[in-house]
Amino acid sequence: MITQDALLEQVQRVLAGLPEHPTSPEVVRVIREQAGVISDEEVIAVLRRLRSESVGIGPLEGALALPGVTDVLVNGPREVWIDRGGGLEQLDLDLGSEEAVRRLAARLALQCGRRLDDAQPFVDGCITRDDGSIIRIHAVLPPLADSGTCLSMRILRQASLTLDDLVAGGTLTADTAAVLRTIVAQRRAFLVVGGTGSGKTTLLAAMLGEVTADQRIICIEDTAELNPAHPGTVNLITRSANVEGAGAITMSDLLKQAMRMRPDRIVLGEIRGAEVVELLAALNTGHEGGAGTIHANSITEVPARMEALAALGGLTRDALHSQLAAALDVVIVMRHTPQGRRLAQLGVLRGNPVEAHVVWDWEHGVVDGDAEVATWFPR
């Protein structure tokens, strides 16, 4: 008797060769023709598999729909993990066979405009959903992935929470929210740093929502995540090269365009390369109150991280520190804890070469009374 996987493959091949999109009765007819003797229950099972493998994220749709899910990770057909903000949880979900996972990964890659096969065994891309969320897709095929096809999906819902929402959710205290409002009101340039999934973009969007309505904000991102509650926001999105390797638009390109768009504030959704050189130049030439995010685990890592990024843009260490000292005022650290996402530290950059100093942290409160930021906390 033919297996369901083999039957599914045969049915998909026949349906792909039809000149027009088949109706449901036509699909049932093809299933019965390919299967021979098959019960109504088995036909329904094949129909469900067909829909699962043809629409949306397939069998992982249920995982994506769970409340609070930010990541779905697949390590072969029998290991599916999710992250809802409190660490990884394994789901009781069997994706069938390695071939089924590979087909799903290849289909998702195709939706991203990419290819995934033995000649190109890994892929990175984004899918925009009907609800406005964006799913960042990464896949790796065997034998590079020893456990079987690996899928990593990050759900990028547009960040639109306010500081009050974050206080209510326990990410901030009322006192730290007041300090963040002061940073915005005084047009201080700031960086939000933290690890993957720590809430950097969410906090950045919430702070931008505090900018007065008479200011124009230009947000530059790789994917459209920032959605602050601000009427004067313009989002510029980078573009990858096409299959011929042409047509790429980088953050550096968009930063140069943003300078000509009469911005009051220039914001980089994530600083990850040579664009840091243009950003520092902008912040040092009258564009106050700019902001961005970078990956770092603590304030003390920021100078070294900025050195590495600036080197990609040809900026020497001495030049970087001179510009950094003049351009950035405050560093805000987000952290992913077992209790959820937290604003963990506030700090400043001082001196030349620049050194990072913690002013306040979640556990100890104000730890540096000499820093100006410390004076913004209630006594």
pLDDT tens sequence across 355-373: 888 999 988 889 887 788 8
Mean pLDDT of the chain: 86
What is the DSSP-derived secondary structure letter of residue 249? Answer: B
Query: What is each CA distance from 262 to 151, 249, 287, in whole angstroms?
Result: 41, 20, 10
Read off the pLDDT of each residue in 78-85 and give the average, rounded to a whole number. 89
Number of H helices, E strands in the chain: 12, 15
Domains of the chain: 1-49 (no CATH), 57-157 (3.30.450.370), 163-376 (3.40.50.300)
Burial class (CB in 10 A: 0-12, 13-18, 19+), 23: exposed
Instruction: Enumerate long-range contacts of 234-238, CB under 8 Å, 24 or more apart.
Output: 234/261
What SS3 class is residue 324?
Answer: helix
For residue 179 the two structure tokens come to: 């300090």
For position 110, what pLDDT does the model report? 82
Q: Bigger pLDDT: 192 or 225?
A: 192
289: left (phi over 0), alpha (psi -120 to 50) or beta: left
Give me the half-sphere count of Cα atoms (radius 13 Å) on the Cβ side of residue 377: 18
* pLDDT over 60 at 55, yes or no: no
Cβ distance 347 to 357 under 8 Å?
A: yes
In sign, the C-alpha dihedral spanning 109, 113, 116, 121 is: negative
Per the DSSP assignment, residues forming a β-bridge with 357 are 348
Query: What is each CA distance from 68 to 19, 83, 92, 154, 260, in whole angstroms?
Result: 42, 8, 18, 12, 39
Q: What is the pLDDT of residues 239-286, one digit of tens each?
A: 877 767 788 899 999 999 999 999 999 999 888 888 898 888 888 887
- pTM of this prediction exceeds 0.85: no
Query: What is each CA distance from 48 to 10, 32, 43, 362, in whole angstroms?
Result: 15, 15, 9, 49
Read off the pLDDT of each residue in 339-347 and give the average, rounded to a whole number. 89
Distance CA 131, CA 331 (A): 33
For residue 154 the two structure tokens come to: 């990050």
For position 53, what pLDDT does the model report? 62
| b/e 234-244 (16+ beta carbons within 10 angstroms → b) | ebbebeeeeee
Which range in 160-169, 219-228, 260-269 is most confidently predicted, on average pLDDT? 260-269
Q: What is the pLDDT of residues 306-332, one digit of tens each?
A: 999 999 888 899 999 988 888 989 999
Read off the pLDDT of each residue in 199-222 and give the average, rounded to a whole number. 93
Cβ distance 71 to 155 under 8 Å?
A: yes
Read off the pLDDT of each residue in 46-58 and give the average, rounded to a whole number. 69
Nearest residue to 141 via CA among 168, 164, 123, 160: 123
For residue 148 the two structure tokens come to: 């079987």
Read off the pLDDT of each residue in 283-300 and give the average, rounded to a whole number. 88
Read off the pLDDT of each residue in 225-240 and give the average, rounded to a whole number. 89
* pLDDT over 70 at 1, yes or no: no
Percent of the chain with pLDDT over 70: 96
Distance CA 121, CA 316 (A): 37
- For the chain, how big is the Rg over CA atoms in Å? 25
For position 248, what pLDDT does the model report? 86
Distance CA 151, CA 72 (A): 8
> Per the omega criterion (within 30 degrees of 0), is the bond before 338 cis?
no
- 300 Cβ neighbours under 8 A, 6+ residues apart: 356, 358
Cβ distance 368 to 358 under 8 Å?
A: yes
> Per the omega criterion (within 30 degrees of 0), is the bond before 378 cis?
no
